[in-house]
């Protein structure tokens, strides 16, 4: 990370670190509508002071073994490992979610979420975009309106955290970010910032300069201004320059520590830690891709997500692999005892951490994946692709919690009540991040973006 040490609050020519941000950083807000949105309707703010963290369980998390165990169904349908009672009367979760069961009054579980798509790639894009016509993910749409970087801190407003984002030791773990960072018809400038992809900039940007050696500062600012001019001329930021710009914004804005977990108290790191959920050697030999499904980084990913929203990031996508539990590599039988407890520990720590920091109403957590799993357990101890009922859980964001929304049928095959759709999810997220009623009155918002945000209705119970 770029750190300029001169021993004083102000540099030799009277410029603070925040001044450097304004002088040298790209100012990505110029590419978007954030200024207009924040001053529209007088002093009323359309971009809410809220954030969304999307935990995307890649591969298709089983809805039955997570939050709809359906123990009244035939044995071949019901949750393989049974159920655990929650804090809500009559409501149970899969047995690996004991921590979240104790926090059920702070959750909303959707048991009627359906979209019908059973293909990994297209279903991932469908859920991540909420089915909007631009094809862009929810985080991308947010950045298009709120700005690609926070104007006050410089932190990227749309960030994705695959396992390698929290340490090079996790480089071999599943990190299929392309499926959940699609920009669709929008400019590449608004794609989620991936610290593991542009991280070399962050990793190597250390500049220790004594006060009497700051004559090179002018050269540094000149380079930053050159990048700004080139980006402004092109109308969008792509590749290395974009990552460099956002890294510069992060550092110059004084929030580079948000990406550094060493700043956390060791007891907090331990609270989130999922390193104990290692894949046993016997399973690692089962198939070549099994080691990449390990959830050992998930706790640190969720901790970094908390740090980022605290630093002003508006949309964070956390990816965790391993949920494609057919049984040919990973099944329900061997996958759930590892991945379930890892999610339970990391998410419970995240929810409790937000509450202790007074951030519960400010941050909406969404847990989902590309689809659910078949109602029947197959002969390999797994479940196959199923788009007719999918996992969806929400927490925080100032929304009504402590409820189960919708119901599945007798075998957890399909919704028994009105289905919750991807567009309902999109509308719920966008109504959390924006004052949509006021947004409708703002001129200058591209029609396709406006339609994506304003046409659909939020999940009614939320």
C-alpha pair distances (Å), 24 with each of 228, 344, 369: 8, 43, 39
CA angle, 343 then 95 then 300, to 5°: 15
CA 145/CA 185 separation, integer angstroms? 14
pLDDT at 9: 39
Strand (E) positions, 126-266? 158-161
pLDDT at 196: 84
CB 82 within 8 A of CB 72: no
Q: Residue 388: name the closest of 128, 117, 110, 123 by CA.
A: 117
Q: Which helix (H) or strand (E) is 218 found in, with range? A: helix 217-234
CB 191 within 8 A of CB 183: yes
CB 114 within 8 A of CB 414: yes
CA 77/CA 91 separation, integer angstroms? 18
pLDDT at 415: 98
Q: Rounded to an integer, what is the distance from CA 328 to the centroid of its chain?
A: 29
CA 86/CA 337 separation, integer angstroms? 19
pLDDT at 197: 75
DSSP-derived letter for residue 368 is E
Residues in a beta bridge with 408: 415
pLDDT at 36: 59
Read off the pTM: 0.85
Q: What share of the chain is helix, strand, coil (3-state, %, to 5)?
A: 40, 10, 45
| Strand-strand pairing, 51-57 and 392-396 | unpaired
Dihedral sign for Cα 337, 343, 348, 349, please. Answer: positive
C-alpha pair distances (Å), 80 with each of 77, 91, 331, 333, 391: 8, 17, 11, 7, 16
The pLDDT tens digits of the residues spanning 125-161 come to: 999 999 999 999 999 999 999 988 887 777 889 999 9
Angle (deg, nearest 10), helices 217-234 and 17-24: 40
Residue ranges of domains in the chain, CATH in brackets: 33-196+261-454 (3.40.720)
Q: Rounded to an integer, what is the distance from CA 53 to the centroid of its chain?
A: 4
Buried-exposed string 171-186: b where 16+ CB fall within 10 A, e elsewhere: eebbbbbebbbbbbeb
CB 153 within 8 A of CB 255: yes
CB 149 within 8 A of CB 198: no
Residues in a beta bridge with 257: none
pLDDT in tens, the chain (462 residues): 333 334 443 333 333 333 333 323 333 333 346 665 654 544 358 999 999 999 999 999 999 999 999 999 999 999 999 999 999 999 999 999 999 999 999 999 999 999 999 999 999 999 999 999 999 999 999 999 998 888 777 788 999 999 999 998 999 998 889 999 999 999 888 899 888 875 444 443 333 334 433 344 444 445 445 544 554 554 444 444 555 565 555 555 555 678 889 889 999 999 999 999 999 998 888 888 899 999 999 999 999 999 999 999 999 999 999 999 999 888 999 999 999 999 999 999 999 999 999 999 999 999 999 999 999 999 999 999 999 999 999 999 999 999 999 999 999 999 999 999 999 999 999 999 999 999 988 888 889 999 989 999 999 999
Q: What is the CA radius of gyration of the chain?
A: 22
């Amino acid at each position: 990370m770029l750190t300029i040490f001169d021993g004083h609050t102000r540099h030799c020519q009277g410029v603070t670190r925040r001044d450097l941000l304004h002088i040298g950083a790209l100012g990505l807000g110029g590419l978007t509508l954030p200024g207009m949105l924040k001053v529209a309707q007088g002093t009323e703010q359309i971009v809410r002071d809220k954030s969304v963290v999307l935990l995307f369980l890649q591969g298709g998390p089983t809805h039955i073994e997570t939050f709809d165990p359906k123990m009244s169904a035939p044995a071949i349908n019901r949750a393989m490992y049974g159920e655990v009672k929650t804090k809500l009367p009559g409501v149970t979760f899969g047995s690996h979610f004991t921590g979240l069961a104790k926090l059920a009054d702070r959750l909303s579980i959707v048991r009627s979420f359906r979209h019908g798509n059973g293909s990994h790639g297209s279903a991932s894009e469908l859920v991540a975009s909420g089915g909007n016509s631009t094809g862009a993910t929810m985080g991308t749409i947010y950045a298009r309106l709120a700005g690609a970087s926070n104007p006050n801190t410089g932190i990227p407003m749309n960030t994705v955290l695959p396992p390698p984002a929290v340490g090079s030791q996790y480089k071999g773990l599943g990190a299929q970010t392309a499926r959940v960072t699609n920009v669709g018809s929008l400019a590449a400038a608004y794609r989620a910032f991936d610290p593991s992809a542009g991280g070399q900039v962050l990793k190597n940007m250390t500049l220790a300069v004594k006060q009497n050696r700051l004559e090179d500062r002018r050269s540094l600012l000149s380079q930053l201004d050159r990048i700004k001019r080139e980006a402004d001329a092109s109308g969008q930021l792509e590749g290395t320059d974009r990552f460099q710009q956002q890294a510069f914004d992060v550092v110059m804005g004084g929030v580079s520590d948000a990406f550094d977990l060493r700043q956390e108290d060791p007891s907090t790191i331990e609270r989130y830690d999922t390193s104990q959920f290692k894949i046993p050697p016997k399973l690692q030999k089962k198939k070549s891709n099994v080691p990449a499904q390990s959830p050992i980084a998930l706790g640190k990913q969720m901790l970094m997500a908390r740090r980022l929203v605290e630093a002003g990031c508006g949309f964070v996508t956390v990816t965790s692999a391993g949920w494609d539990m057919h049984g040919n590599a990973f099944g329900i039988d061997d996958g759930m005892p590892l991945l379930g407890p890892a999610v339970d520990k990391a998410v419970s720590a995240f929810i409790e951490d937000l509450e202790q920091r007074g951030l519960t109403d400010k941050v909406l957590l969404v847990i989902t994946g590309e689809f659910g799993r078949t109602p029947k357990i197959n002969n390999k101890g797994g479940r196959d692709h199923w788009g007719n009922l999918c996992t969806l859980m929400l927490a925080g964001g100032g929304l009504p919690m402590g409820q189960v929304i919708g119901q599945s049928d007798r075998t957890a095959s399909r919704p028994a009540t009105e289905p919750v759709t991807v567009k309902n999810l999109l509308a719920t997220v966008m109504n959390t991040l924006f004052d949509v009623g006021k947004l409708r009155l703002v001129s200058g918002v591209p029609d396709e973006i406006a339609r994506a945000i304003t046409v659909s209705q939020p999940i009614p119970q939320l």
